[in-house]
Structure formats: C-alpha cells, structure tokens
Structure 1
C-alpha cells in the first residue's frame, strides 16, 4: 500500500502521486480527484497523461476536467485567471490528444462558463469515461 492511512491519501506528496500513477493499485478513496487537484499538482498530472506508461492516465485526465469545472463554477476571478495562465503554459508542452482536448475544452469553458455541464466537468466526466 502506497499511502499509510486515509489522511495521507487525502494529502499525498508528489512522490506518492508518482508511485501511485505507475502502480496497479486502485484509487485509495472515493472522489480522490478532489484530493489531487490543486494548481501545484496540475503540471505533474499533465505529464502523467502524456506518458503512455502511466497506468492511471484516465483518472488523472478526469481530475483535470473536475479541476477546470470547479474553478469555472467558483466564479473566482483570481482562480479563473490563474487557470487561464496554467492552460496556456501546459499547451506549450502537451503531447497527447487527450491533454490537447482538455486544453481546448478548458479554454472554451473559461470563455463560456454558462455552458458548464456536470456530466462533462464533474466526477466521472463523459469526456473521459
């Protein structure tokens, strides 16, 4: 087991993220996307999605959709600006079609927040599953 307890799973270190990303272990906790999402983790999550060896790339991709959806729904101008900058930065190095699609869809949702749909931007995103 990678995480010594549930408290650790809800506050994973970058090293624990990486070990889990390439492991065969199941998601340690329901709705764990909410634990991994944070501005500081998004660049690392994007590298997992771009790496064909990552065993949990669908999980991480889904977490990106949840992250974007939550930020846009929050209507926090500061966070939306921060998300826009992050999306532009990630776009410079994105390789996979899945990540490029997330980037384009995120840019669109940022410009058109009324088009938010939980089925696509919430847990279990239809864009992914």
Structure 2
C-alpha cells in the first residue's frame, strides 16, 4: 500500500474531490462506498479536471475502483462526442485514446475502439450503454 493510499480519510467535498483524494479513494473504495456518494457522482467526477486521474486509474489493473474509472471514461467520451466537443476538448480525448491503444489492456483498448466508433457514428449513442455502465458491465466492442 502506498503512502497516498494509506492516508485517505474521506473527501473534503465529495461533490468536488481533488485528484489526490480521488486517487487515494480509488485504492480504498470501501472506506467511502459509492452508495454513500452524492447522487450522480459518476457524472460529477467525469469532467476535464479529473479525467486524467480517472484514465490513470482505469489503466491500472490492480486498482479496486478501476471499473468505476472506466465507467467515467465512457461518460466523458460520450459527453464530448455528443456535444461536438464543446463540453470537452477533442485533443484531450484523442490523446487518451492513443495512450489506451498503445499501452492499455483489453478493457482499455475496447474503450478506445468504442469511442472511435462513436466519434465516427454518433447516432450509435445509447445512454444506458455509455452513461449507465452498460459497456463496462458487458464489455464488448461496438461493430
């Protein structure tokens, strides 16, 4: 257990956690269960400020909150694409996609593939799959 992990004692403000707090929580998610977080917490933490942290957590197969982080990546990607990148910069998403394609395992390369499919065909967006965790629970590559 790293120093960062052992020091987690909760969020100063769960609606606006810092990257350090989020990372520490991700390695001890049972200390503050998701069920106790504010409603739609996944949507709150899927923005530009925390997406790099979420990406790092999703890239770590040993992270206990990895699936949650991956879920947030799906939310972030679909939000940017559906809003024609007015919500999030396209360059940031493309940079994350390239990293996932180069260094990610199957879960991450599947996320990158699915995101590229949605970029090419935004009409394939399905709220349940992208924003409610469907593509995380039933990992599959979109055609």
Q: TM-score, normalised by structure 1?
A: 0.82
1:3 to 1:75, Cα distance in 2 relative to 1, 3 A: same
Residue pairs, 1:6-45, within 5 angstroms: 8-23=13-28, 24=30, 25-27=32-34, 28-45=37-54
Distance 1:90 1:42 in 2: 13
Offset, 1:79: 3.7
Pick the aligned partner of 2:78 from 24, 45, 69: 69
Highest RCO, 1 vs 2 (Cα 8 Å, sep ≥ 6) = 1
CA RMSD of aligned residues (A): 2.2
Count of residue correspondences: 125
Offset, 1:95: 2.3
Distance 1:110 1:18 in 2: 28
Unpaired stretches in structure 1, ≥5 consecutive residues: none
1:94 to 1:120, Cα distance in 2 relative to 1, 3 A: farther
